[in-house]
Structure 1
């Protein structure tokens, strides 16, 4: 429970103040956890980011739904998973995503976390594209489509976070073109 509290407080503070302006002392004070205890739970600020990213990815990825859809060869469910995986709306999460992306440009450890998430998402989306086309194994063009979809998703996150503009119909249309084009 203490670790969960620290993650929630740190997440909020990273969004409100940014990664650099949120120090361990502020996280400890706001969460009500002694600095020494916080360091026992998370040896570095990057470890808190890693835990937040892992939790967020698990929540948004919904891999159980993808696995079930693939096992049942339910193409509509696979299609819905692809759409939901990249069109979720989470304004706080979008701002945190941009903060982490900016830090990844400067911090090798954060870049590694970011890269691992990207690799996992592309792998899962590739499997989804393969399942849509009746393949049991993702092929190179499935990976290319997955990467294209991820790039489009990142663009949507930027537009939402920077401009406060949510265009789910446009995002879904673009995603549908990628999916339907592959299925045909």
Structure 2
């Protein structure tokens, strides 16, 4: 009997990437709800077993796609959070929106966001996943707010979680406007935010 060859981590990662990319293309083309696992399997050009080995369901695929998008945002916010001196909140927000902008192309993962939000209204597991991802981002924003309190930019008695929730709404609001209308551009939006924040 011949030994079974070991599959390298690189090969496993490449196969996983192949499936996630295929799913993203399907979701963008047909929508999350209309895309089936068979569609993803055909798009990836792999066997049923190969795809299900990595992703047993569409929700698992969405989780992987969301993890990438949110992971990128968290990396940006973490870098901003550790800057010395801490940047003003409007600058931190601009940096977050710059990342969002990179994910808004025709094949950008954030084009799937609205579909996921809609599906989350009827799928409790997906709703839990989405809430968890946004809670995590809110945590990074709250850390930025606490630093802003240390510098006096935000009142010491302000609730960091409440301010972070408002900042998250500003990020998601710009994302939604971009997806639906293609405007305003980032600089115009940030100028509006600065005007709101200036006493």
Shorter-chain TM band: 0.7 to 0.9
SS at match of 1:76: coil
Taking the aligned partners of 1:104 and 1:86, their CA distance within structure 2 comes to 24
Shift of the alpha carbon at 1:37? 1.4
Count of matched residue pairs = 176
Q: Which has the higher Rg, Structure 1 or Structure 2?
A: 2
Higher helix share: 1
Residues 46 and 34 (structure 1 numbering): CA distance in 2 closer, same or farther, change over 3 Å? same
What TM-score results when the alignment is normalised by the length of structure 2?
0.78
Counterparts in 2 of 1:155 and 1:5: CA distance versus 1, 3 Å: same
1:17 positional shift: 0.9
**Which residue is equivalent to 1:95?**
111
Structural RMSD (CA) = 2.3
Contact 1:149 1:175 in 2 (8 A): no
Q: CA deviation at 1:13?
A: 1.3
CA distance in 2 between partners of 1:142 and 1:82 (Å): 15
Gaps of 5+ in 1: none
Partner residue, 2:162:
144
1:9 offset after TM fit, Å? Answer: 1.3
- Please report how far the alpha carbon of residue 53 of structure 1 lies from its aligned counterpart in structure 2 after TM superposition: 0.5
Taking a change above 3 Å as real, the CA distance of residues 23 and 32 of structure 1, as seen in their structure-2 partners, is same
* Match of residue 68 from structure 1: 82
The residue correspondences of 1:29-178 to structure 2 (distance < 5 A) are 29-62=42-75, 63-69=77-83, 72=84, 74-76=85-87, 80-87=91-98, 88-89=100-101, 90-91=103-104, 92-134=108-150, 141-177=159-195
Q: What secondary structure, in the 3-state scheme, does the structure 1 residue paired with 2:150 have?
A: coil
Cα deviation, residue 67, structure 1: 4.6
1:100-133 residue CA offsets vs partner (Å, 9 max, x unmatched): 1111111111111110111111111010011122
The runs of at least 4 aligned residues of structure 1 exceeding 3 Å deviation read: 77-82, 174-178
Report the TM-score, using the length of structure 1 for normalisation.
0.84
Extract unaligned runs of 5+ from structure 2.
1-13
